[in-house]
Amino acid sequence: MQLYLLDLGLTPYDVAWGIQKRAAAARISGALDQDLLILVQHPPVVTLGRSTKPGHLLATPEYLAASGVQLRDVERGGDVTIHEPGQLVAYPIIDLKRHKQDLHWYLRQVEESIMVALRTFGLETGRVAGLTGVWREDAGGRRKLASIGVHAKDWVTWHGVALNVENDLSTFAHTVPCGIDGVAMSTVARECAAANRPVPSVAQVQEAVTEGFASVFTLTAAPLPVPLYDQLVGAD
């Protein structure tokens, strides 16, 4: 089985959201015959998942708009999440009927995909009991590198994981990230620099994330065929 790849570069959230929904519908119908990994960066946007609690958005919608930050309510699980340039977002459109029909298993597989990718750059990361995401912990404390929120219909997934690569984390000041009080966010660039490791580019991290997903889900990465690209992206 293959894992089709779609690199959208820097794309507005609403455009990528529309592509995700078309891709999920196509995967459900069978028009998209293989799983798909969408890779993208977004201009600054705050998204509110189904579990967002009052008080976790620290800025008013008016203030966010004036600051050039979009605000969107979305159907994914999880709390408030931030996207901004320099952060790599991966949206796996995966038919769990071909893997395992278990969303908890799926979340652990997404975490594992990112952890495998980060080992490429000498970063050992892990999980925190009771909290979804990918974390790094040492004598300096615990920092979160990746946030995860997913949605599924007919066992086909969309939404996904946001990995902080070289973003400045400024947009996170407007929220309680992922609804976790006192959470410290970090980036791949910061962690590599602190560990005296070479700092990878977003492109290098993107390649490692692709390989991580392909390995963990036992798939072979392949370009999205042109007819499917036209079907999914052409509308935008």
Distance of CA 63 to the CA centre of its chain: 25
Residue type (1 letter), 62: E
6, 39, 107, 178: the active-site residue? 178
Which residues lie below 8 Å from residue 56, measured CB to CB, with a gap of 6+?
79, 80, 175, 176, 179
**Nearest residue to 52 via CA among 155, 161, 167, 149:** 149
Q: How many angstroms separate the CA atoms of 224 and 11, rounded?
A: 18
* Number of neighbours of residue 162 by Cβ within 10 angstroms: 26
- Using the structure block, give the residue that is written with the tokens 């969107």: 72
Residue type (1 letter), 15: V
Handedness of CA 163, 167, 169, 170 (dihedral sign): negative
What is the 3-state composition of the chain as percent helix, strand, coil, each rounded to the nearest 5?
Answer: 35, 30, 35
178 is catalytic: yes
Tell me which residues are annotated as active site.
Answer: 178
